With several copies, the nearest count.
Chain A
């Protein structure tokens, strides 16, 4: 088993630097294994604090066109569950930033939740986000992952009533994922920073977990604005767009440059 250091390690450095963490989402195998590994290395070098590694799924209900297309590219390239886990393991071995899986219930279910938990933990990942498992279904789904030492960050949306948000925050592990606006992932629509700020303020009392904000963050300005209030900033579609169409070193270079632009916008908290 590769030591993950767990979530504490993820937030140690940004906390020490009194800035928001940067979490970057890539799809395993998009468009191939080597590119994904090169991109992860580049993101790590660019100062990304946590890699969200998407295990490709053909029917990603929570994702917009960019991530859906990236997943399709990965599937078309033959990426299977075991390949995604192997990519994570290899990246960790090469010294990448901590890795958090992101996928849907069905691939995990079919793979076997216990088997997934075991292999995911063995790959050195810190946890898994499964966006179509809401709070109510967590008791049936979560225990094997938790038993394997994996965190399960849960999502809170603008539509989540405050009382429910508090319960989600309480049930979450690793961090709490605040969805910054309505809809699915995708860079085309802006995050609602004001809403994120007020939610964060409200949630502080409900949890000691870091509060991360994602969906729609695509510019350094977004990162700066969100980073000023949140403990972490999550970028996905915009990053994928940044290197889509290229491979290998070129992709890594594009991804790294883009990540650096966001990372540079994360200033120490006042």
Chain B
């Protein structure tokens, strides 16, 4: 039985306990307030959810299955069950959120979507729904990432989106996010900013969670139906934290279900090169809300590192900060080497090539399953497929995979 928290948060000011809020230039305050009103209206409108459900079913391909990964661990262990977000259209949970936000945007009369992207997954997911709904899409992406993720850049072009390389700061995701905020500030009237995780100013952490919570709702029902009981543990990787909140939310009020967020330790928690905001960061304000941030003693945000682009972010959603401080969820970290080992192991033993992000969750789940023993039941959010990562891994392995 774990510490209880309030699953009805955020409060009216966008707070989860002391985390969250709205820390943005005044020019965006009204846009966020508008978005909050539109969100509340939409969420209260059955027609909105009906359209959402149709798209999730026919376009995204939901429900995603749960799958017993039988060959992952040897010796006595708890069954490990994957929630298969990798089977979604575009290959990850990201699309659940972009579909929802694009519908909100259309409802608000905005014809243009903007998004930040790191590795390109959220950019592709935004470009995807933009193409489907006939909306203009502009994606902001750090120059460094444009260079190393040429495939996703081309994919976004194929989908009709325009990719804008961002040359400021570290020229990666953090700066792309800054730039998207700036672009939004410049064109708030006709532009909807589609944020890719449970980060940013209120109402983003809330609405992204609401769009992603379908993962946990489905998984909870599927576990009860298949196993006649809830999992003992739920494990998910945490970058910004959207897939994790997506699967955690449905279990937050189940006191006996332990929630585990797995961050990217990169080269290690003690190293400079890490991306584990909750494990190695401190409380700060980044991209519009208060949460844990990887920063120096002057409040300057640090460069991060993870082999997995989707976890390579110095912040984390405020609801995770709240769950951490309350003890309701525990946050651990897995380094590059262990994540890569889990990537290979899952491919070889299950015939599933996981996203490097998800491989962090799997690596931790393997240990946990052994620790729990046969009485346990470990649910892992397989947030995405690893096709996008094959070249990265091949390069690390010194293999050719053009």
Contacts and interface: CB of A to CB of B under 8 A. Distances in A.
> Is A bound to B?
yes
Interface of A: 57-65, 68-69, 72, 75, 80-81, 104-111, 131-137, 154-161, 164, 168, 179, 182-184, 189
A183 B285 contact: no
A131 B21 contact: no
B192 to A, nearest CB: 14
Interface of B: 13, 21-31, 168-169, 174-175, 178, 181-182, 185-189, 282, 284-288, 293, 295, 297-301
B35 to A, nearest CB: 12
Contacts of A110: 282, 284, 295, 297-299
A168 B181 CA distance: 22
B169 A111 contact: no
Nearest to A156: B26
A38 to B, nearest CB: 25
B181 A160 contact: no
Given A106-B286, A183-B186, A61 B181 contact: yes
A111 B298 contact: yes
Contact of B284 (A65, A72, A109, A168): A109
Contacts of A104: 285
27 contacts: A57-B299, A58-B169, A59-B175, A59-B178, A59-B287, A61-B182, A62-B25, A62-B185, A69-B168, A80-B298, A104-B285, A106-B285, A106-B301, A107-B298, A109-B284, A110-B295, A132-B25, A134-B25, A157-B25, A157-B29, A159-B31, A160-B29, A182-B27, A182-B185, A182-B189, A183-B27, A189-B186
Contacts of A159: 26-31, 188-189
Contact of B299 (A69, A108, A160): A108
Contacts of B13: 136
Given A61-B182, A111-B299, A182-B188, 9 more contacts: A58-B301, A59-B175, A61-B288, A72-B168, A105-B285, A132-B24, A159-B188, A182-B187, A183-B27
Nearest to B23: A132
A61 B25 contact: yes
A2 B322 CA distance: 42
**6 nearest A-B pairs in the assembled complex, by CB-CB distance:** A110-B299, A183-B186, A157-B27, A107-B299, A62-B25, A106-B299
A133 B27 contact: no
Contact of B168 (A68, A132, A179): A68
Nearest to B186: A183
A108 B185 CA distance: 23
A154 B25 CA distance: 10
Most interface-central of A57, A134, A168 (chain B CB within 10 A): A134
A111 B284 CA distance: 11
Contact of A61 (B24, B31, B282): B24
Nearest to A57: B300
B25 A136 contact: no
Contacts of A58: 169, 300-301
Nearest to A65: B168
B375 to A, nearest CB: 45
B174 to A, nearest CB: 7
Nearest to A184: B182
A75 B300 contact: yes
Contact of B285 (A60, A109, A182): A109
Contacts of B188: 159, 182
Nearest to A75: B300
A184 B185 contact: yes
Contacts of B23: 105, 132-134, 137
B182 A81 contact: no
Contacts of B286: 59, 106
Contacts of B298: 80-81, 107, 110-111
Contacts of B25: 61-62, 131-132, 134, 155, 157, 184
Given A136-B13, A182-B188, A160 B30 contact: yes
Interface centre among A58, A104, A131, A189 (most CB of B within 10 A): A58
Count chain A CB atoms within 10 A of each CB in B13, B189, B282, B295 and give the residue with the most: B295
Contact of B26 (A60, A63, A64, A155): A155
B400 to A, nearest CB: 26
Contacts of B297: 110
Contacts of B185: 62, 182-184
